[in-house]
Structure 1
Amino acid sequence: MKGKGFRYVPWVPKIGTPEEQRKAWTGDYEEMKKDRSETGFGIFVPPANRKALWKEADSPNFVIKNQLSEAQQAAYAKALTACRSQSVKQVTGKVITSDADRAEQENKLIQQVVERELNGDPKLITLASATGDCLKGKGYRVDSLRPSDLNGRGSNEFEAQKRQIALNDDIPEKDLPEGQYYEPHLPAATAKQYLAKEVRAALDDLECGKDFYAAYLPRNAEIVNRVSAEFGGSGF
């Protein structure tokens, strides 16, 4: 960044995933139940209540950038993207063009590894089938019994509902990348109802999938961390 004429402070967030959150992400039943009792699948939880390990404003470079003019900020962002791409290539050999490109490549590789290592695993297939039967018995729709699809079933269902609400409100989704939308502004009582429904569904999903998640999530987390390391990330 100095070579491109900008001040930049080397900075890495000093964070560690809280132990209870790490346990929830890796299939611990009690921590998953606690988390889902509060946030469901994490879709309709109010933005103010969402858990974040760090914010952009925590970085000293946030202040540096915001002190620049609008034109300088655009040039700063362009320079930062170029420097990040150069750094990733030097460290990992990966060629990326932007943060979005990096995320897309990372996610695509994660999906490929999950397909290869998890979706064909006989034990996970058996557990996923039992989970799906249980959910159907409770009246939930299950379109696919592939382990990775079952893992994302609940969050995808409520994300689709939220997206539809956003697309039907009076806030036009202008100047946003395809598939993204502005957070819908729901009356407090309505938002509470959506979250309550989501929490019930998430807890039912957990009860049906207790054994499935205990087997699937630790391996999924290992894959995410492994692929993240390939792109210079630290995982969780």
Structure 2
Amino acid sequence: MRRTLISIAVTVTGLTLLAGCGGTDADADTGTASSTGQPAAGGLSDEATKRQAVQKLIADCMKEKGFQYEISPPVEMNSRSAEFTGPASVLKTDEEMRAYRQKYGFGIYSEQVFPDDPMVKQPDFNPEDNPNNKIREALDPARQEAWDAAFSSDGKNGRNEPGCADTANEQVFGTNEADPEKQAEKDREYEKFRTDPAVVKAAHEYGDCLRGKGYKVASTEPGMIENAVYDVINEPRFNGEQVSAAEAKKRLAEEITASLADLDCRGEYATIARTQYGAVVATGGGVG
């Protein structure tokens, strides 16, 4: 029998459903909803805080539709370092970035040097932990289908009407990947960023500065230039290279130097991206 698990981190894009095997269907209907649950805790990333807001909206919406839905405990999808890397990094001020990079660099080798530091430690979450799996499984098959339809759309299964997760995600994150028109609008906004003459000029200056400091720059295109030095430093790990703790510490020192050079060079590019295109630049025109 097919068992559906709802990821505890559901609603980043709204509708992460993970299929598993086994399990049984009970025939008890658990009735109406409770929107109580663990609120967002202090110290969460911006993304995790937004996902908790989505969870609360889903719970209220499901209750209105006559279903129980418990707010999942807050989890991080990525380490906090994700906010300081790549396109997302331009949304941070130079002061915020400098404080981070002086210790963690790009967040590459620091994960090995500081394995228990929540800033760089990769989160570990299990979809089994989502309390709504048990709620759903306690329903008879017909009620499960109704619960699923109330929860989210699913074009593969013929559910095209937006569900609670769709509308909540759109309200908080500002877009719905199931809506082609809205996605196309976001793509157009991102293209404006990529082709803005001021952005293009600043991106070339960014690249010239990095090359002047001796770093290889594969592309000065807006949306790619901010990953130029990161990609060079990360290439050995990307290709599967394993290093000792001592070697990781040595490489972190080099990484910190490179990351600060990158920060010093980004200049006007980061300022324009952050102040004029912040809504689209971090997601690259994708779903926020």
What's the TM-score once normalised by structure 2's chain length? 0.49
Aligned partner (choices 239, 259, 273) of residue 202 of structure 1: 259
What are the equivalent positions in structure 2 for 1:34-73 lying under 5 Å apart? 34-46=99-111, 47-51=115-119, 62=129
Q: Does 1:89 align with 2:162?
A: yes
Shift in Å at residue 58 of structure 1? 10
What is the percentage of aligned positions where both structures have the same residue? 22
Q: Residues 144 and 150 of structure 1 are in contact (CA less than 8 Å); yes or no, is this contact kept in structure 2?
A: yes
Shift in Å at residue 45 of structure 1? 1.6
Greater helix fraction, Structure 1 or Structure 2: 1
Relative to structure 1, the CA distance from residue 51 to residue 135 in structure 2 (aligned partners, 3 Å threshold; closer, same or farther) is same
Distance 2:223 2:45 in 1: 23
Q: Does 1:14 align with 2:40?
A: yes
Unaligned runs of 5+ in 1: 68-78, 95-101, 169-183
What is the aligned partner in structure 2 of residue 154 from structure 1?
229
What's the TM-score once normalised by structure 1's chain length? 0.58
Distance 2:218 2:94 in 1: 24
Distance 1:30 1:24 in 2: 12
Relative to structure 1, the CA distance from residue 217 to residue 110 in structure 2 (aligned partners, 3 Å threshold; closer, same or farther) is farther
Kindly provide the amino acid, as one letter, of the partner of residue 129 in structure 2. F
Q: Does 1:212 align with 2:269?
A: yes
Q: Please state whether the residue corresponding to 1:143 is helix, strand or coil.
A: coil
Q: Residues 193 and 281 of structure 2 are in contact (CA less than 8 Å); yes or no, is this contact kept in structure 1?
A: no
Q: Residues 101 and 256 of structure 2 are in contact (CA less than 8 Å); yes or no, is this contact kept in structure 1?
A: yes
What is the aligned partner in structure 2 of residue 222 from structure 1?
279
Q: How big is the alpha-carbon RMSD for the aligned residues of Structure 1 and Structure 2?
A: 5.1
Larger Rg: 2
Kindly provide the amino acid, as one letter, of the partner of residue 94 in structure 2. Y
TM-superposition CA deviations, 1:10-41 (whole Å, max 9, x none): 657615547xx799652411111111111112
Distance 1:9 1:53 in 2: 33
